[in-house]
């Protein structure tokens, strides 16, 4: 399994670029950053942990993910660039397609999109995304972006996005940029992933990952998809031997380890200890 790191970016502490550079030097494979455009002060949506209050104020202070990853790309040559998770439905899909294609082009094909449906429905409402249709909106946005990435003359017609025959360059070196959905492992979600995405990213509360991955593979086969879905595990606690066995049985491609958004010295010390524990080579 590969090893990635996720930084809950904010306007404090280590910068994404410095962390990406340090992570690449220590042998990590991917850097992930999150996305929230804003947090409405009045909020009806509960946090995924079930609480009315946010765990901390980093949610109010997140950096733009694609600008952050562009700074990472500029100072690295190998490390993958991804999100855990981004919210594509909160951007104009034509503009976002251009941003992602440009980042993939300039980074030499290192981008993967870790996307969510959006737990903060109040945030989505401000972007004119109906909460009850957020999965439909995301499916259409991904379809529209893929058309722009892969077709010389692209067009798309949907309920939430439509455009006539158009040119749009650059094309991503990868062609179709991979999309990994970070969400709970319900049957509805696994069927959606098998239809519209390239893999699944666990949540901090996910358990029995192997069983969930098996359900995804079943849906994958029924959807007529070739190959295997990409399964990535967000590590939310110090894992046990049983956890590693579960992730191996799930066929996980990558473990994603959190790092603190502290000052540079503290983060690099944490990164050194993590790399040593994982046996990574610089």
Euclidean distance between CA atoms 115 and 213, whole angstroms: 18
Peptide bond into 85 cis (omega under 30): yes
Across residues 184-199, what is the average pLDDT?
Answer: 97
Residue 25: Cβ within 10 Å count: 14
Peptide bond into 77 cis (omega under 30): no
Whose CA is closest to 1, among 198, 202, 256? 256
Helix, strand or coil, per DSSP, at residue 18: helix
Whether the Cβ atoms of residue 166 and residue 148 lie closer than 8 Å to each other: yes
Residue 127 has pLDDT above 90, yes or no: yes
Euclidean distance between CA atoms 93 and 139, whole angstroms: 11
Domains annotated for the chain, with CATH where assigned, are 2-278 (3.20.20.30)
Residue 178 has pLDDT above 90, yes or no: yes
How high is the pLDDT of residue 49?
Answer: 79
Across residues 1-26, what is the average pLDDT?
Answer: 97
Q: For 108, phi and psi rounded to 5 degrees?
A: 75, 35
Residue 45 has pLDDT above 80, yes or no: yes
Q: Residue 28: is it exposed, middle or buried by C-beta count within 10 angstroms (0-12/13-18/19+)? A: buried
pLDDT in tens, 86-110: 999 999 999 999 999 999 999 999 9
- Rg of the Cα atoms in the chain: 18
How high is the pLDDT of residue 71?
Answer: 98
Percent of the chain whose pLDDT exceeds 90:
93
Q: How far, in whole angstroms, is CA 87 from its chain's centroid?
A: 9
| C-alpha separations of 152 from 104, 146, 175, 189 in Å | 17, 11, 12, 32
Whose CA is closest to 257, among 56, 114, 84, 77? 84
pLDDT in tens, 246-282: 999 999 999 999 999 899 999 999 999 999 999 997 7
């Amino acid at each position: 399994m590969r090893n990635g790191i996720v930084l809950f970016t904010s306007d404090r502490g280590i910068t994404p670029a410095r962390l990406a550079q340090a992570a690449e030097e220590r042998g990590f494979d991917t850097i992930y950053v999150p996305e929230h455009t804003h947090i409405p002060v009045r909020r009806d949506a509960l946090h995924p942990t079930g609480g009315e209050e946010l765990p901390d104020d980093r949610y109010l202070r997140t950096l733009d993910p694609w600008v952050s990853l562009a700074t990472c790309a500029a100072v690295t040559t190998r490390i993958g660039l991804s999100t855990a998770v981004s919210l594509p439905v909160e951007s104009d899909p034509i503009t976002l397609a251009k941003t992602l294609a440009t980042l993939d082009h300039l980074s030499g094909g290192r981008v993967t999109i870790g996307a969510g449906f959006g737990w903060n429905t109040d945030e989505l409402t401000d972007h004119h995304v109906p909460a009850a249709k957020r999965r439909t909106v995301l499916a259409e946005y991904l379809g529209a972006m893929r058309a722009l990435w892969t077709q010389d003359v692209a067009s798309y017609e949907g309920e939430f996005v439509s455009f006539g025959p158009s040119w749009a360059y650059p094309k991503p070196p990868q062609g179709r940029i991979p999309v990994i959905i970070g969400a709970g492992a319900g049957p509805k979600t696994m069927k959606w992933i098998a239809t519209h995405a390239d893999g699944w990213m666990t949540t901090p509360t996910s358990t029995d990952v192997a069983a969930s991955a098996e359900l995804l593979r079943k849906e994958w086969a029924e959807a007529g998809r070739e190959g295997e879905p990409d399964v990535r595990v967000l590590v939310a606690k110090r894992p046990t031997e049983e956890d590693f066995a579960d992730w191996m049985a799930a066929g996980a491609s990558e473990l994603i380890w959190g790092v603190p958004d502290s000052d540079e010295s503290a983060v690099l010390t944490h990164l050194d200890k993590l790399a040593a524990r994982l046996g990574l080579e610089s």
